[in-house]
Amino acid sequence: IHLLSTAAEPWPENAALYQQLKEEQILLSDNASSLAVQAFLQMCNLPIQVVCRANAEYMSPSGKLPFIHVGNQVVSELGPIVQFVKAKGHSLSDGLDEVQKAEMKAYMELVNNMLLTAELYLQWCDDVTVEEITHPRYGSPYPWPLNRILSYQKQWEVRRKMKAIGWAGKTLEQVLEDVDQCCQALSQRLGTQPYFFNKQPTELDALVFGHLFTILTTQLTTDELSEKVKNYSNLTAFCRRIEQQYFEGHDKDNSATAAARSAKRSLLR
């Protein structure tokens, strides 16, 4: 990122966020990541339009979603997007001291380490979910046999990564236990505060919201995943609070609201 030229241009009206097709294609993990970025931008008061493309994954510079197209620059994933937005003069964590910033980063790693990986595990390594949800959805915009080829290729890729990080040997039960441990930590850290760093939301709040809200509102082959989150009432209240504050009461045209609404619908075909 060339920071000088980044800072020079103000945030354009036509900034766009790219993800896969909402109704038929997008999976749990990508939906969570997309929602996290949308929440972050909403919190920064930066307008963004959600654009759905079947080949969004291939358009992304890093292969990961979502990515944003702002001016003539393309940035993918929450971390780099936060930095990019900061270069343009917007930040949610400037008010934090050094120790709080360290803590924020640590908790963001926890979410990536446990929640995101658990989502990936569920959708690519749990046979029932793979068969009933993932395979039908992932390649759905494409004709047979391309749809199956793409899907198997992706599955192979993800399983390779799972092996590398030691998750391939886990059972679903163990994965759900990890999710529970993560939720417990988040719940304890949040306590009775409205946001993780009290009065103002930060990128951590956006990230946690993206994942928890998606888990809570996505119908899978089993309710076990969402039940883990529901065990912690302050976390569900947290999700409701952010949804009301940043996603409701906006234009019907606002793609963020649309995304939140469609996330409520079943992802089960």
Partner 1 sequence: LSPRSFSQAYAKFSGAPLTVNTISNSWRAPKGDVPVLISEDTVISQPAKILNFLRKQKYNADYELSAKQGADTLAYIALLEEKLLPALASIKKCLLHTFWVEAENYCSVTKPWFASRIAFPLKLYLPGKMSREALNRILLTRGGPPLCSLTEVEAQIYRDAKECLNLLSKRLGTSQFFFGHTPTTLDAFVFGFLAPIYKVCFPRVQLQEHLKQLPNLCRFCDDILTCYFRLTVSGHSPAGQDTADANLQKLTQLVNKESNLIEKMDDNLRKSPQHPPRKLTTLKLAAGGEENSPSHRLSP
Residues near partner 1, by CB under 8 A: 61-63, 98-99, 101-103, 105-107, 109-110, 112-114, 160-161, 164-166, 169, 181-182, 184-186, 188-189, 191
In the complex, minimum distance from the CB of residue 38 to partner 1, in angstroms, rounded to a whole number:
23
**Type of residue at 232:** Y
In the complex, minimum distance from the CB of residue 66 to partner 1, in angstroms, rounded to a whole number:
16
Nearer to partner 1, 231 or 244 (CB): 231
CA angle 234, 17, 143 (to 5 degrees): 105
Nearer to partner 1, 179 or 263 (CB): 179
Nearer to partner 1, 4 or 165 (CB): 165
Nearer to partner 1, 153 or 266 (CB): 153
In the complex, minimum distance from the CB of residue 236 to partner 1, in angstroms, rounded to a whole number:
18
Label each residue of 63-111 as H, E or C.
Answer: CCCCEEEECCEEEECHHHHHHHHHHCCCCCCCCCCHHHHHHHHHHHHHH
Dist. CA 45–CA 232, nearest whole Å = 29
In the complex, minimum distance from the CB of residue 182 to partner 1, in angstroms, rounded to a whole number:
8
- 112 vs 11, 50, 72, 119, 194, CA distance in Å? 28, 23, 29, 10, 22
In the complex, minimum distance from the CB of residue 221 to partner 1, in angstroms, rounded to a whole number:
27
Q: Is the dihedral of CA 40, 42, 46, 51 positive or negative?
A: positive
Dist. CA 185–CA 222, nearest whole Å = 23
Nearer to partner 1, 41 or 110 (CB): 110
For 114, the 3-state DSSP assignment is: helix
In the complex, minimum distance from the CB of residue 55 to partner 1, in angstroms, rounded to a whole number:
15
Nearest to 167 by CA among 124, 105, 198, 111: 124
* Tokens 């046979």 -> residue: 127
Contact criterion met (CB below 8 Å) for 19 and 26 = yes
Nearer to partner 1, 206 or 267 (CB): 206
Nearer to partner 1, 90 or 101 (CB): 101
In the complex, minimum distance from the CB of residue 249 to partner 1, in angstroms, rounded to a whole number:
33
Q: Would you state the structure tokens that stand for residue 211, as one six-digit string?
A: 């994942």
Contact criterion met (CB below 8 Å) for 7 and 97 = no
Nearer to partner 1, 110 or 216 (CB): 110
In the complex, minimum distance from the CB of residue 247 to partner 1, in angstroms, rounded to a whole number:
26
